[in-house]
Structure 1
Amino acid sequence: MRNPIGKKVYKIHKWCGLVAGLFIFVMGLTGAVLVFNHELEAWEHHKYWEVNNQAPVNIDKAYRTITSQYKNWEIRLQRFSDNPQETLIFSLRRPQERLMVFTHPANGQILATLDSHKTITTWLLTLHYSFHANLPGKIMVFITGLIFLISLVTGVITYRKVILKMLLFRVGFSTKTKRSFASSLHRFVGVWALLLNLLMVLTGAWISYGIMANGFIAASTPAKSAASPPIAISIDQALIKLKTQHPDFRPTYMRFPKAENQPLTINGFVSGQPFYYSQFYNAATFDAKTGAILNLKLNPAAETKTKLDSISHSIHFLEFGNWLIKLLFCFIGISAPLLSITGFLLWKWRIKNFKEGFKPQQSLRPGSRRLVSTK
């Protein structure tokens, strides 16, 4: 730390952590929980998640029921499958309202209607992306992401001489004092979670920027309610046609027309595509009057910005992987709060020591000889 540039970098690292520490704590903790968002939803809505049914799935009946009972709503189908026991889950939208509607997979009967804003998953998502503060919160999240990115980069520069040694376990983990324990924990967590933290911060900042930009547009544009109308074609037949003509396309999400003369859009995964592409950027559009496939947009053929959106969404929302992958990314989410807490404690104890006239040992500073030793 004798290098004046190194001291400045360390100060930037320290102040970035202090300024954004609480926000990083909240975002990291909610992100760690949201890794298991599907499991969380299944647990929260277990009463309506499945039914005892063996009859074939009939989306047409469910859609007719929804459009007859919920007029002047934009309608989406967020869960469906060939499994006759899985309920269909519709997402109904207005500018300031969101409903989650569960329907019977065969007869289309409405089983439950919930306010999406009051569900655990949506509450956590809103906290994660806006701190429940609307546009100001979205701006704060974006700025926090940038500060966290700067903190990670300056941390790499500060601890660059010991990163490899720590990865090779050539640096000991000190537990002699609470300060040395916090320092060791801060360094080890920071180094071992570095690459995935950078990945999550970069993808999160990209997504956050889009959310913030859309927030500015929404704030300056009068809100317009969409109304998904009844459609003339059979949704179930459209799925059969898609499966026949494009067998590699696995549908996972539907966006119904927002008005007359608009198409039906079906999103999904495509076999053979790289895992880092999002399901929501593969789209098959159907003429809502004739049932003809109008267009098929796939990730590899998209423009650069769309590809970046797709990759960021897939990675940040973890649309791939098994339980081991989820546990790994859950650890990454927890690492951010750990870095915030240990960083704050180190700063607090350092200030206390200076007030008491105690000068911290050089060995506890980044890059010192004792820090990089194998002892």
Structure 2
Amino acid sequence: MKAGWRGVWRLWHRWLGLSIGLYLALMGATGAAVLFREEIEAARYRVSAGSGAAPLPADALVTVVRARYPDVAGKDLSRVDIPADSDVCRRFVFGGYDDLTRTRFVYIHPYTGATVSNRYVLRDPFGFIWAAHLFLLGGTRGMTWHGWLGIGATALLLTGLAAWLPTAMRQLRARFTAKGALPTARLLYDAHTLGGAAVLPLLLVLSVTGTAFPWEDALHKAFRLPESRPHRVPQEGTLPIPADALLRTAEQRLPDLRVRRLILPTKPTEVARVQMIARRPALLARATVTLNPYTGAVIAVTQEKETEGAERLLTILPALHFGAWGGTVGKMLYAIAGLAAPGLFLSGCYLYLRRRRKRA
């Protein structure tokens, strides 16, 4: 790469860093925590079972929660998250993501049905981190902001790569060599460039795949994929069947997967969905069984591993972002890259301010 172009890329990288760098740092830090959400919540909400005790049936817990919280802040019970460990509380979610100030998480003891925690998402420390990462605290509007800021973050990373690449391959080794005991500014410059180069591949994966979420509809249109139409069922005039029956049906259809989440209908004509996941780390690990909540009949079964062509590509993008495909090791590598982002932002700001002081 010619030296003149390096100056152009460096200039773009500098100004993108000053304008978008804080966003990338925030996403990296919060994302590192969200990666281990299951492990963190398993530690926070683990309970002890009595001798020979068995977890209460899902339908019994749903009935208890609906009776105890008939309408939390005007939001109906929308889903139940079921952890892999039976000794961890079930998470009942009231409301959706359109208005996070009214979304509430209720954690229920799996053996007694007692309420262990009942908080608005934004008033819970970890819930706040989760909402900041996924929605920038702005609900569905935050996803739109993610779409544009994510493009800027990807450009920031690519201009950094372009500014760092040597003009000749023989100089590549020098790019990976620190200069030793030098003034603080030089050490920070080495840390910024070497650290950035080391985590750049993972940060690019996270940035590109994270940016794909808000543009999902546009990408489907670009690849001319058929639009997914929401399923509807006629109101039977009877009560929905027990939640346990829905879960059993899903487990029978996909016995190699475990239940992860039960999404309940909030309107009479809506369907129920059971989201499932592979028992071992895998790239295409998720599946959804859509059911009639009144009869238990299976309406549709979708598995990520059965997708093809452009649909598979668009399925892989979010799957790569979650990090669960690599197990604990994969999530740790993602976390290291995420935590490096604030360091890159702070070191870049220091170098910029020092440069300005020298010119003044």
Of 64, 82, 88, the match for 1:79: 82
Question: How is 1:117-196 mapped onto 2 (pairs within 5 angstroms)?
Answer: 117-132=122-137, 138-161=143-166, 171-196=177-202
> CA offset at residue 149 of structure 1?
1.2
Amino acid at match of 1:125: W
2:257 aligned residue? 249
**1:191 CA displacement:** 0.9
What is the alpha-carbon distance in structure 2 between the residues aligned to residue 189 and residue 122 of structure 1?
Answer: 30
Q: Which moved more, 1:193-202 or 1:124-133?
A: 124-133
Counterparts of residues 1-375 of structure 1 (less than 5 Å) = 3-43=3-43, 45-46=44-45, 49-53=46-50, 54-72=53-71, 73-81=76-84, 83=86, 85-93=87-95, 96=99, 97-106=102-111, 108-132=113-137, 138-161=143-166, 171-209=177-215, 231-270=239-278, 275-277=282-284, 279=286, 282-302=287-307, 307=312, 310-355=315-360
Question: Post-superposition shift, 1:288?
Answer: 1.4
CA 91–250 in structure 1, closer or farther in 2 if over 3 Å, else same? same
Deviation at 1:135, TM superposition (A): 7.1
- Secondary structure, in 3 states, of the residue corresponding to 2:119? strand
Task: Select between 243-252 and 317-326 the one with higher mean Cα deviation.
Answer: 317-326
- For residue 49 of structure 2, what is the amino acid of its counterpart? N
Counterparts of 2:357 and 2:174 in 1: how far apart (Å)?
A: 34
Deviations 1:239-270 (A, max 9, x none): 33333343123211110112224322101124
SS of the residue corresponding to residue 324 of structure 2 reads coil
What CA distance in whole angstroms lies between the structure 1 residues aligned with 2:130 and 2:169? 33
Whose Rg is larger? 1
Query: How far, CA to CA, are the matches of 2:305 and 2:62 in structure 1?
Result: 32
Q: TM-score, normalised by structure 2?
A: 0.79
Tell me whether 85-94 or 290-299 shows the greater mean CA deviation.
85-94
Give yes or no for contact 2:83–2:260 (8 Å, CA) kept in 1. Answer: yes
Paired positions, count: 333
| Counterpart-to-counterpart distance in 1, 2:180 and 2:217 | 42
Contact conserved, 2:285 with 2:305, CA < 8 A, in 1?
no
Per-residue Cα deviation, 1:25-56 (whole angstroms, up to 9, x for no partner) = 2222222232222233334x44xx32424124
Cα displacement (A) at 1:180: 1.2
Deviation at 1:60, TM superposition (A): 1.1
- SS of residue paired to 1:252: strand
Matched-pair contact (CA < 8 Å) for 2:175–2:194: no
What is the distance in 2 between the residues matched to 1:80 and 1:177?
A: 51
Q: Deviations over 1:283-307 (max 9, x none)?
A: 1122212222222111134476764
Q: How far, CA to CA, are the matches of 2:154 and 2:163 in structure 1?
A: 14
Report which stretch shifted further, 338-347 or 110-119: 110-119
SS of 1:320's equivalent in the other structure is helix
Deviations, residues 110-143 of structure 1 (Å, cap 9, x unaligned): 4442222211222112323454356775555443
Q: Structure 1 unaligned segments of length 5 or more: list them.
A: 214-228, 356-375
Structure 2, unpaired ranges of 5+: 220-236
